[in-house]
Chain A
């Protein structure tokens, strides 16, 4: 404050002074005696092409208004300091340790982060408010004019800039140092490839290369065309339906109006390696099962076992798990985009963006009474079977 006052009283213009425009006038001699500090400031601005035309104090020095403004700025600074101190205090001493399940609505711990945020935010806000008030209310009022040219730069300036730039290129000697030229290409090319990696990287692996397990079985079958239920993955035998922990499932394990998520009972069957395989095994009520049996697609004939039916758990729209089973309305809902599938009509989509029915997994029982994926043929033999149609969203080759 004192520097500001001295500028105004000893070296600056008196209150209410308006300086007549002097742009383009001759430069003053800064070594001349009697040159004030403000004269030097003004001269400096003029040499940069800026003319200060109005310069006056905003408040009368020593006036009541000035003292009041000073006090409010000081108060803002003090409050900012107080909020900052509160932040430090809260940071160190506010209870912060997570008390586990004991935490309730009245624990101070819940407010640790909000208190830090509020105090720090308040401190920064008050600091800013103090500075802005100071600048807007106490600093001298000033109007300065800077002359700017229209259109492009002067022709001389353009020539000078062009020469400077070409000189830089010439200095590096890139034109007569072919080794460096090649080295730059060598060093930068891989970086360019890195930028393209996410886009073209997906093309490296052939999506139709058979799984090693399939190759071992001597089958050249694209992973796009089968799931973990394919009997070839189980030495040609029907694959059992298992829980996520690998235990096989008997009919009695699923209550009427109950459902269970089933995985193929093969090595890695419950892992993401066969992420397209999970199915939802549903035990329908008698009358509902009869209704479904009466309108099975030809493709799905013989796929039910008693009152049990299993549908793929991969939505035909975007691959989410449509496992919201409504046991009274017999609907399967997909949580992602609200597709609804009618369980009693081959899981036909009746609402939402999905357009194809969910694939039905053929069900049968093996010798030990456990569910397997398969059908019984006309000769009465149990034959393992995958889903009859590809599961999940349509893909570009279909």
Chain B
């Protein structure tokens, strides 16, 4: 039997090498395959962006990348990370012209947006979609009338406890530290107010849906709308809308000064 056993022929060097390479290749394939199978994060990264978001990425790479970095991770000393800020932040910052910033300063000022009309809407939506798909974050409800069903009475109470310390009792805004300021709310739209509350732009605190429910947000917006539409009875000059006493003090000071000079003039004449 043993004689029948085929005698092993010594393999050639070349074949041995080939076999070793084959085993290495198989091992590499196995490891790679396992890694691919068990690393879903990597697989998710490969999910292509939606067409709108891809459009947004193109815009991002032109207008935002300098300060916010290649993957919106932020650049030290220039701009913060945009991971998790959500579409609400994009809509607020780009829609009100705050972004892109013209220069580094205490606070990005409200200015005419980079685009106009439909182009602004489309580009803002594209950027918002890109940032949302990139890092998630607060989303915006649809529609332009976000105060529907809001109670300005309740909204007023919420406004006074949460907003009035910075934006003033009648929405006039006010100064903060080191050149920063809380802007006036006279021209703010429903969507801008909502976006600001959920995203906390600049130095404004975030008012998430757990703290101010969507209904309470509608209440606050209804109150701000009321402030915006409210007239100033009994006065032509609003003087910061600080109330009738302001106009009274102003006319008292101006009037007394005028009368003083008038009496001096009369005394000098006679």
Contacts and interface: CB of A to CB of B under 8 A. Distances in A.
Contact of A326 (B180, B208, B232): B180
Contacts of B233: 98, 103, 109-110
Contacts of A257: 200, 205-206
B149 interface: no
A244 B161 contact: yes
B177 interface: yes
B204 A327 contact: yes
Interface string B23-52: 000000000000000000000000000000
Given A258-B207, A324-B176, A101 B231 contact: yes
A175 to B, nearest CB: 50
Interface string B201-243: 0111111101100000000000000100111111110000000
A394 B200 CA distance: 34
Interface residues of B, number: 30
Contacts of A244: 157, 161
A325 B205 contact: yes
Contact of A258 (B165, B205, B236): B205
Interface in B148-192: 157, 161-162, 165-166, 174, 176-178, 180, 182
A395 to B, nearest CB: 25
A254 B165 CA distance: 18
A325 B229 CA distance: 28
Nearest to B168: A335
B177 to A, nearest CB: 5
Contact of B177 (A98, A101, A351): A351
Contact of A328 (B174, B202, B208, B232): B202
Contacts, number: 89
A323 B176 CA distance: 11
Interface stretch (A36-44, A111-119, A206-214): A111-119
Interface in A241-260: 244, 250, 252-260
A253 B232 CA distance: 37
Given A326-B203, A333-B176, A260 B211 contact: yes
A257 B86 CA distance: 15
A259 B231 contact: no
B102 to A, nearest CB: 19
B165 A323 contact: yes
Contacts of A258: 200, 205-208, 211
A253 B177 CA distance: 27
A112 B174 CA distance: 31
A296 B236 CA distance: 53
Interface in B100-126: none
A257 B89 CA distance: 14
A257 B84 CA distance: 13
Given A252-B210, A258-B208, A327-B206, A110 B235 contact: yes
B235 A103 contact: no
Given A255-B208, A255-B211, A104 B231 contact: yes
Interface in A310-365: 321, 323-329, 331, 333, 335, 340, 351
Interface in B130-154: none
Contacts of A112: 234
Contact of A110 (B165, B202, B232): B232
Interface of B: 157, 161-162, 165-166, 174, 176-178, 180, 182, 200, 202-208, 210-211, 226, 229-236
11 contacts: A100-B231, A103-B233, A111-B236, A255-B206, A259-B205, A282-B205, A324-B182, A326-B203, A329-B203, A335-B165, A335-B174
